[in-house]
Chains A and B, each alone.
Chain A
């Protein structure tokens, strides 16, 4: 447990927040994270924001995820190539995140 999705607060009216991510927009309550503000990324579970996410760290993860998800328009459509996909993958992720591992 449990499914929670990071989304950005784009509007706020009391505890009623409008949140958005990549082509999706909805509302949630920020009653559990009353200090959250417009522009913050929050983790949303069952219609409630449960945590404010550290943006710098989040960005790094999302870059990795979105790069995985992105499909390259310029691709000739041949899957099964041994070469890695190109789509922006050569960008080095931000430094200074948790984990203490050396894989960078």
Chain B
């Protein structure tokens, strides 16, 4: 083992590229992420992808850094894996850039890295390169992480809103609202305790199973569209899809799973669970005849047990998402506007 000593707290010197920096990288990042490519400590990682690749990046600035069900580490890895998954891309490699506030506890950094490593292992993707900068106290909220990912696309056609057709099935991989409520509870601005954990999880396995089932049942182009309902929630994904595709969507309110605790918090603060952020869910649009097979395949995966078909794409009411209530009436779902605000009225 190389000899070096890392201090208790991150110092400005750790970002300066010299010995302190090298020690930090080896002791914390390389140790946690442990893979042959990273261990070379080259400035760039050489990869050998096959076929078309997907490429994505995401900055993560969550507060608090740790919350029930996860932390910024798990969030950053899962988030990028999931973005790649929306392109039907198997994650090939990740990069992670850290901006750390001077004074940040090294033990906390280790914990975040352990979390990233565990999530990366789960998703079977190595973190092969990265960067670290340290900024003065007060210039960052503890820790910001930017993850960038490269993946191998496993379908031959282009997924997206242009591929969606009248009659396609709209499938949701599970219950909504958990991540947002878990964060809200953890932030402590409104004093409540809820039986809710963030759903933060890497979903490539789920998407791979879905794509396979759709392909088997309905041919190469049966999978049309994949998107994860993060900020803005399910409503935003559906509204964007109708806007981009020029088609309409109808979903059934009762088919959308919402856990009782999430519902209670929403009732209390006046939130709509359909507009809340998720970090471990996927919206899938596939050819109608493949819906049952896709739902079954997703339900057989770890994070898709509550998957269900929630609606369909329609040529009626183009550009609009209609929600059918349990009473058979309908209302339009609009994208939420900006800040999530609790109300008393």
Contacts and interface: CB of A to CB of B under 8 A. Distances in A.
Do A and B come into direct contact in the complex, CB within 8 Å?
yes
Interface of A: 1-3, 5, 21-27, 44-46, 66, 68-69, 71, 73, 75-80, 85
Interface residues of B, number: 41
A26 B192 contact: yes
Interface stretch (B28-36, B147-155, B291-299): B291-299
B192 A80 contact: no
B264 A5 contact: yes
Contacts of A78: 291-292, 295, 308-309
Contacts of A44: 268
B13 interface: no
Interface of B: 171, 175, 191-196, 251-252, 254-265, 267-268, 270, 291-292, 295-296, 299, 306-312, 326, 343-345
A75 B309 CA distance: 10
B260 A77 contact: no
A44 B265 CA distance: 13
B311 A77 contact: no
A79 B252 contact: yes
B217 to A, nearest CB: 14
A25 B261 CA distance: 9
Contact of B344 (A2, A21, A73): A2
Nearest to B298: A77
B292 A77 contact: yes
Contacts of B310: 79
Q: Across chains A and B, which 10 residue pairs bring their CB atoms closest together, nearest first?
A: A23-B261, A23-B195, A77-B295, A24-B264, A26-B192, A79-B255, A22-B260, A77-B308, A71-B257, A25-B193
